[in-house]
Amino acid sequence: MYEDKTLVCKDCGKEFIFTAGEQEFFAEKGFENEPQRCKECRDARKSSGRGGRQLYTAVCAACGGEAKVPFQPREDRPVYCSECFAKMKEEG
């Protein structure tokens, strides 16, 4: 049904392949527009848009595992890993 297409990146001007599999994925997600940037330019745009978000490492107060958080942990407040935090949210 789909065939690979050659597109031109609007940022760098290089040609890139929009594969049949990618086209199928876009259709499943309901995306109507084709990509306008090659993978390298998309990745560069994503990383620059966030301003280099810094993550801090802490010890999870529930399981003792490593927790990466986007804020500077303080000694007077517990920090939870993503799994323990999700469990706590489910429990209410």
pLDDT one-digit tens code per residue, 8-33: 999 999 999 999 999 999 999 999 99
- HSE toward the beta carbon, residue 86, CA cutoff 13 A: 4
Answer yes or no: is pLDDT of 52 > 70.
Answer: no
At 49 the pLDDT is 63
Nearest residue to 2 (alpha-carbon basis) of 22, 16, 28, 17: 22
pLDDT one-digit tens code per residue, 40-49: 999 888 877 6
At 54 the pLDDT is 80
8 Å CB contact between 79 and 60: yes
Q: Where are the domains of the chain?
A: 5-49, 56-91
Q: How far is C-alpha 82 from the chain's CA centre? A: 15
Question: pTM score, two decimals?
Answer: 0.51
